Structure 1
């Protein structure tokens, strides 16, 4: 079930949401230090993370699914967010260079259809980054955060989904190793949890951060053409008796005067 945009906004306004945003932004920045001159699209509820690219990118917009709702973003400037049908985006083919998916895949009823639409609007040299709840993580076992809603994924499930939709995973990282408790001690030690979890490659991170590239030359299933049979006309032999009767009916030629 898709979360309402008000619930998402309220989570990121609380202390736990602010810390979660900082930790995930840290992982996104490690993959994409900047997006200078790039056209950036965020889908789902990406506004807490698009601030990394809004200042130096050529264009930075946020699309929010119709079932979720939309909020004005940024609040003090002309709006860059709009409500869309995530399976039919109002963009031409190859329109953007980078796409960020946050609170999108795990909430979608048709993740394959969503990723194929991402493939359509992404430029041939473009890259996609998805923040997806980890099936083995602690954050998916409680519903007091948005990461505890929807369908979580393991790394192998994400890889299979991306390859089925013509993407190639190129880089992985994890975030949110700390428990999802808004208590002061856990919040103050959040960075220590992140360093220890990343160094030891612990499996209980809250989210996967995966980067993928678009497969321009994707495999197309070969369909065998059906052979259309056209009957050939066979020559028909006229019986000799009928041929003699036809010759007998012809008038005799008149003699010509000399």
Structure 2
């Protein structure tokens, strides 16, 4: 059974997976207490969590990976939902369709992270919200390969924030969860609940997973778009006059004042001359 818990469906069928889902559901419901109506999409393996929002239309899109491809066992999900297996590079949904998107066991196990985030961005409405659950690089669960959280690539908070920003998704809130150990005796729900509360207060950055809420950044640049061409600036019209400096036709470089006549002693290229009187 320990070997099979690397697969998400078998992990949530075990006692440790049931405890992990219970505590994660508490964190997710704190982010989104109630969703009345609308469409909710779960990407990766989010079936154990979509039952939190029973009054919404929930769709589960399991990614086509060895960890998330097998479906849940009978009775493992409590709320009716539509399910499918989808590729991370092409989600079979209309653009601007979902009000909420939950990603669990998705970004760490896919080989096309940027393409998957781009697909999620497209199916989200402009005012939609996204919840991402990824293994914390500093936590214990990322270093124990006996669960799906120990598969693939873990993230630090800075790394997941940068990955979401590159996909035009802006992080608004985040917290960590799963402070009880991923191996050994679980101790039951009461004991793990005590560890969760103590870890949140004492070691907030050492939780097993990071829970990130992000919104669609509709004003961020998408792709490599060349800047728009600017209209050429029109310079004001200038009146030009012919420059007569250094001209041979000019013999005097000063004007006549008071009926007198000035000499061209400062004219360049000519020797000083004397004015003649009649």
- Report the TM range for the smaller structure's normalisation: 0.7 to 0.9
Q: Which residue of 1 aligns with 2:174?
A: 172
Q: 2:183 aligns with which of 181, 188, 202?
A: 181
Give, in angstroms, the shift of residue 210 of structure 1.
0.2
Q: Which residue of 2 aligns with 1:40?
A: 40
Does residue 89 (structure 1) correspond to residue 91 (structure 2)? The answer is yes
Q: Is the 1:70–1:81 contact (alpha carbons within 8 Å) kept by the matching residues of 2?
A: no
RMSD of aligned alpha carbons: 2.5
Q: Is the 2:5–2:147 contact (alpha carbons within 8 Å) kept by the matching residues of 1?
A: no
**What's the secondary structure of 2:204's corresponding residue?**
coil
Q: 1:200 to 1:50 in 2, by over 3 A?
A: same
Deviation string for 1:191-237 (max 9, x for gaps)? 111111111243221000000000112225452689xxxxxxxxxxx
| TM-score (structure 2 length as normaliser) | 0.73
Question: Any stretches of 5+ residues in structure 1 without a counterpart?
Answer: 227-258
Identify the range of structure 1 (64-73 vs 203-212) with the bigger mean alpha-carbon deviation.
64-73
Give, in angstroms, the shift of residue 155 of structure 1.
0.2
Structure with larger Rg = 2
Q: Distance in 2 between matches of 1:225 and 1:21?
A: 49
Deviation string for 1:126-157 (max 9, x for gaps)? 00101000000011111111111100000000
Q: 1:74 to 1:94 in 2, by over 3 A?
A: farther
Q: 1:178 to 1:92 in 2, by over 3 A?
A: same
Q: Is the 2:177–2:209 contact (alpha carbons within 8 Å) kept by the matching residues of 1?
A: yes
Does residue 20 (structure 1) correspond to residue 23 (structure 2)? The answer is no
| TM-score (structure 1 length as normaliser) | 0.79
Give, in angstroms, the shift of residue 90 of structure 1.
1.1
Q: Is the 1:133–1:206 contact (alpha carbons within 8 Å) kept by the matching residues of 2?
A: yes
Q: 1:73 to 1:86 in 2, by over 3 A?
A: farther
Q: Is the 1:94–1:122 contact (alpha carbons within 8 Å) kept by the matching residues of 2?
A: yes
Q: Is the 1:21–1:49 contact (alpha carbons within 8 Å) kept by the matching residues of 2?
A: yes
Q: Is the 1:72–1:80 contact (alpha carbons within 8 Å) kept by the matching residues of 2?
A: no
Q: Is the 1:74–1:80 contact (alpha carbons within 8 Å) kept by the matching residues of 2?
A: no
Q: Which residue of 2 aligns with 1:66?
A: 64
Q: Distance in 2 between matches of 1:175 and 1:160?
A: 20
Q: Distance in 2 between matches of 1:187 and 1:140?
A: 21
| Aligned counterparts, 1:32-181, within 5 A | 32-53=32-53, 55-57=54-56, 59-68=57-66, 69-71=69-71, 80-181=82-183
Q: 1:4 to 1:215 in 2, by over 3 A?
A: farther
Answer 1 or 2: higher relative contact order, Cα 8 Å, separation at least 6: 1
Give, in angstroms, the shift of residue 44 of structure 1.
0.6
Q: 1:127 to 1:4 in 2, by over 3 A?
A: farther
Question: Any stretches of 5+ residues in structure 2 without a counterpart?
Answer: 230-278
Number of equivalences = 222
Does residue 30 (structure 1) correspond to residue 30 (structure 2)? The answer is yes
Q: Distance in 2 between matches of 1:19 and 1:207?
A: 14
Between Structure 1 and Structure 2, the one with more helix by share is 1
Q: 1:73 to 1:126 in 2, by over 3 A?
A: farther
